[in-house]
């Protein structure tokens, strides 16, 4: 058990729950407040919120672990696919979704194509998000078991209940502002980590040299070309239909703000992956990837190696919280629209 990190994670969970309680009353003022934060989110808050919602564990543990295990070309394919989400969202969905006047994705399909398509869309999105939850749950279990010293399954359940609590209490208000905090922690934390790595290795050139000397295959293409192409396309198209992205557009003040939010989120994401390349190179230079049961643990190992316990604990707490797209609440956003058929009748899912 990591005592300092455990204390920080506990404090972090308490803070998130307090935020949920704070927004409890506001979220219940109206249906719009609960589902879309009253459509009043500005560019700054929205950009960090959408960044945190999309980034989650995949852009931290998953990307770094895959980059070290499969080579840096795989990491860059991953990065370009995710970064491209935001420009596509900005031009293809941000303005259109925000101008539609609806509050959920299925409602949008109902408006355009009718109730049958609405129900099919809700089912498809919910099934897809269930599979999307697997890497998030995996990352939360890895971080929780490492920091708290508890069983992997227990870590998933404990952290999941904690994060779901604040989402259920405060709705989109709570999720947006906790995502703001998580987004800031993630981007500031990984930039600090990257700077610490560069200082330790005396620059980017020496770092890459150390990584290649430890793992000569670090710069090689290790997978069939279709794997890289498929990875890029999968992230690109998933991102612009994911409730994690689309719901942020509903919460924006206007179509113009929705587009600005996506643009700034893209720049934040670019910063994350530039720093992530440095972290991946550091992970390769450690030469411990073959000793780990799960390659995703390389990100935790880099934090443990280069950052003091307090900074590492804050970074891990933010990473663990970002692992949950809060499927329970976002499924209600998906299925909530299904019930809005004929005289505002609601279905409980």
Q: Which residues contact 21 (CB under 8 A, 6 or more apart)?
A: 166, 169, 170
* Nearest by Cα to 56 from 310, 245, 328: 245
Tens digit of each residue's pLDDT (9 = 90 or more) over 234-282:
877 777 777 777 778 888 888 888 889 988 998 998 999 899 999 999 9
Q: Report the chain's mean pLDDT, rounded to a whole number.
A: 78
Tens digit of each residue's pLDDT (9 = 90 or more) over 97-156:
778 777 777 788 888 888 888 888 878 777 777 776 776 677 677 777 776 777 878 877
pLDDT-derived band at 5, boundaries 50, 70, 90: low
Q: Is residue 252 within 8 Å of 172, Cβ to Cβ?
A: no
CA distance 101 to 80: 32
Residue 301 has pLDDT above 80, yes or no: yes
pLDDT at 247: 77
Domains of the chain plus CATH, in order, are 3-336 (1.20.1730.10)
pTM, 2 dp: 0.79
pLDDT at 340: 43
105-124 burial by CB neighbour count: b if 16+ within 10 A, else e? bbbbbbeeeeeeebbebbee
* Nearest by Cα to 261 from 105, 41, 59, 88: 41
Q: Which residues contact 349 (CB under 8 A, 6 or more apart)?
A: 331, 332, 335, 338
Residue 220 has pLDDT above 60, yes or no: yes
């Amino acid at each position: 058990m990591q005592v300092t990190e455990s204390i920080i994670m506990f404090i972090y969970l308490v803070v998130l729950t307090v935020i949920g309680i704070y927004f409890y009353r506001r979220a219940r003022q109206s249906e719009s407040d609960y589902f879309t934060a009253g459509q009043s989110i500005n560019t700054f808050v929205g950009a960090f919120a959408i960044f945190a919602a999309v980034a989650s564990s995949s852009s931290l543990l998953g990307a770094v672990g895959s980059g070290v295990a499969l080579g840096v070309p795989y990491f860059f394919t991953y990065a370009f696919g995710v970064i491209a989400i935001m420009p596509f969202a900005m031009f293809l969905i941000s303005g259109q979704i925000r101008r539609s006047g609806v509050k959920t994705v299925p409602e949008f399909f109902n408006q355009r194509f009718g109730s049958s398509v609405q129900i099919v869309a809700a089912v498809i999105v919910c099934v897809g998000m269930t599979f999307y939850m697997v890497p998030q749950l995996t990352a939360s279990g890895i971080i929780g078991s490492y920091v708290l010293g508890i069983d992997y399954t227990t870590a998933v359940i404990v952290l999941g209940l904690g994060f779901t609590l604040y989402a259920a209490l405060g709705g989109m208000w709570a999720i947006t502002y906790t995502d703001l905090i998580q987004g800031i922690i993630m981007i500031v934390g990984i930039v600090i980590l990257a700077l610490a790595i560069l200082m330790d290795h005396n620059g980017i050139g020496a770092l890459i040299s150390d990584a290649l000397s430890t793992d000569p295959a670090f710069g090689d293409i290790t997978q069939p070309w279709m794997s890289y192409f498929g990875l890029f396309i999968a992230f690109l198209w998933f991102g612009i239909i994911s409730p994690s992205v689309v719901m942020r557009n509903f919460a924006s003040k206007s179509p113009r703000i929705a587009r600005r939010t996506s643009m700034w989120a893209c720049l934040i994401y670019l910063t994350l992956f530039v720093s992530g390349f440095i972290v991946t190179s550091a992970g390769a230079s450690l030469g411990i990837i073959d000793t780990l049961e799960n390659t995703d643990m390389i990100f935790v190992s880099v934090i443990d190696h280069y950052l003091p316990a307090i900074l590492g604990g804050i970074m891990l707490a933010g990473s663990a919280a970002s692992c949950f797209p809060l499927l329970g609440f976002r499924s209600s956003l998906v299925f909530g629209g299904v019930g809005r058929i004929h005289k505002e009748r609601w279905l409980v899912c």
